[in-house]
Amino acid sequence: MRFFPVVLVISAVVGSSACGPKAGEDVAQPREFSAAIPVSVSTAVQTEWPSVYEATGTVRAKTAAQISGRVMAYVREVRVRAGDRVRAGQTLVILDAQDLQARERQAEAARNEAQAAAAEADQAIESAKVNLDLAETTFRRMKELFDKRSLSNQEFDEANARVRAARAALDMAQAKRKQLDARIAQAAEEQQAAKVQSGFAELAAPFDGLVTARTVEPGNLAVPGAPLLTIEQQGAYRFEADVEESHLEAVRAGSRVEVKVDSLDRAATGTVAEIIPAVDPASRSFTVKIDLPPANGLRSGLFGTARFAFGKRTVIAIPSSAASARGQMNWVFVAQGGVARARIVTLGERRGDQVEALSGISAGEAVIAPVSASLPDGARIGVQP
């Protein structure tokens, strides 16, 4: 009987120890007695946003040139590589011009030869004129004697024949001189053409730009029309977007379009400069060319997206800072009666600091923004003004 109270005390202590928290556990306080968490709220508003259609595309240079030879010759020197910046008039490729220069020298020699022959022809013309004058003077004297019956018919005919022969010799000399004039002109043209072709041995940049491709090496044979280098003019780029055929009538030249280049991670506003109405039968799309404003980092081949605004649509917009991603879902906390209530929402398009709520939120509800990642569902909140 003496030990019974002691046993009761020990049992009470053991029972109290078994019901208490384990080591390292937080003792959860009842939420109704916790302090209110200060938050800021915004109202989900119903508004109108432009109806946007997105089309992917590629940045292209507005002006690009393929440098190719105009004569067939071996490449002697290539002075630039892909990625080099060049200036207008800068020599890029030099061809072997020995054959071209030889043609120029041949044409020059032919011209000199024709000019020398022309000098001889001039002397022949002067000699023919002298012979003709002498024959005509002799003929006049013979005619006077013939009229006086002092000259035989044969002598008179011989004098007349000498006049005709001298006149024919003069005509022949003058005709030969004209032929030489034509040969001189032809040789001069050939010399000029050979000189021009010799100038084709040096290929220069047509404008300031960037070398984007090099397809030739020294020793290669340059064929007329075959590209050797590709140059793009910098500072003038456009975005070529492939737009579905259903939007053909909605796109207008001169309209403003937002273009985002993925690698630059920024957007710019461009202007529709050209619409190619022919629809690609494979992709069922047409091409829209959008002029872009100058920007650092732009170059051909960059991938991007163009956003075309077609009319307006009604949306429920909330601040982007009100939404938080937890796993595969998006959550928003709504302020209801001084308590934070978590909602699973479906988000749509983002515009600036606003995001479209497709489901889970109604217009006029107060959402907590910005939301803290540690804010628990059902926590007491105090709305700050």
Element (H, E) at 329: strand 329-336
Q: What is the pLDDT, as a whole number, of residue 75?
A: 92
Find tokens 């002029």 and name the residue: 291
Mean pLDDT computed over 371-379: 87
Residue 9 above 50 pLDDT? no
175 HSE (CA, 13 A, CB side): 6
- What's the rounded Cα separation, in Å, for the pair 35 and 38? 9
Q: Mean pLDDT across the chain, nearest whole number? A: 84
Number of helices (H) and strands (E) in the chain: give both, helices first: 3, 22
Domain ranges of the chain: 30-48+315-383, 53-62+234-311, 69-96+201-232, 98-197
Q: Where are the alpha helices (DSSP H) in the chain?
A: 4-19, 98-147, 153-199
Mean pLDDT computed over 41-57: 90
Say which amino acid occupies 269. T
Q: What is the pLDDT, as a whole number, of residue 24?
A: 31
Residue 2 above 60 pLDDT? no
Q: Which residues lie below 8 Å from residue 343, measured CB to CB, with a gap of 6+?
A: 331, 332, 333, 334, 360, 361
Residue 61 above 50 pLDDT? yes
For the CA atoms of the chain, what is the radius of gyration?
49
pLDDT band at 296 (very low <50, low <70, confident <90, very high): confident
Find tokens 């440098």 and name the residue: 67
Mean pLDDT computed over 123-138: 88
Which option is the CATH number for 53-62+234-311: 2.40.30.170, 3.60.70.12, 2.40.160.60, 3.10.20.70? 2.40.30.170
Tabulate helix, strand, coil % of the chain (nearest 5). 30, 40, 30
* Better-scored residue on pLDDT, 298 or 26: 298
Identify the burial level of 344 via C-beta atoms within 10 angstroms of its C-beta, where 0-12 means exposed, 13-18 middle and 19 or more buried: exposed
Q: What is the pLDDT, as a whole number, of residue 273?
A: 94
- The three-state secondary structure class of 328 is coil
DSSP state of 30: P
pLDDT by residue (tens digit) across 152-205?
Answer: 888 888 888 988 998 898 899 888 888 888 888 888 888 788 887 788 888 999
CATH class of 69-96+201-232: mainly beta
pLDDT band at 36 (very low <50, low <70, confident <90, very high): confident
pLDDT band at 266 (very low <50, low <70, confident <90, very high): confident
Q: What is the pLDDT, as a whole number, of residue 34?
A: 64
Q: Of the ranges 34-38, 216-220, 364-368, which one carries the lowest mean pLDDT score?
A: 34-38
Q: Which two tokens stand for residue 70?
A: 């105009």
Which option is the CATH number for 30-48+315-383: 2.40.420.20, 3.40.50.2300, 1.25.40.10, 3.40.50.410? 2.40.420.20
Q: Which two tokens stand for residue 104?
A: 């120029």
Residue 374 above 70 pLDDT? yes
How does strand 37-39 pair with strand 381-383?
parallel
Q: Which two tokens stand for residue 279?
A: 């629809």
Q: Of the ranges 16-30, 217-231, 291-305, which one carries the lowest mean pLDDT score?
A: 16-30
Mean pLDDT computed over 331-357: 91
- This prediction has a pTM of 0.53
**Which architecture, in CATH terms, is 98-197?**
Orthogonal Bundle (1.10)
Residue 291 above 90 pLDDT? yes
* Better-scored residue on pLDDT, 13 or 136: 136
Q: Of the ranges 132-146, 152-166, 184-198, 255-269, which one carries the lowest mean pLDDT score?
A: 184-198
| High-pLDDT (> 90) share of the chain, % | 40
Mean pLDDT computed over 44-73: 90
Mean pLDDT computed over 59-88: 91
Residue 128 above 60 pLDDT? yes
Strands (E), 219-302: 221-222, 227-232, 237-244, 256-261, 266-280, 285-291
Q: Comparing C-alpha atoms, which of 213, 243, 206 is closest to residue 81?
A: 213
152: how many CB neighbours lie within 10 A of its CB? 11
Residue 11 above 80 pLDDT? no
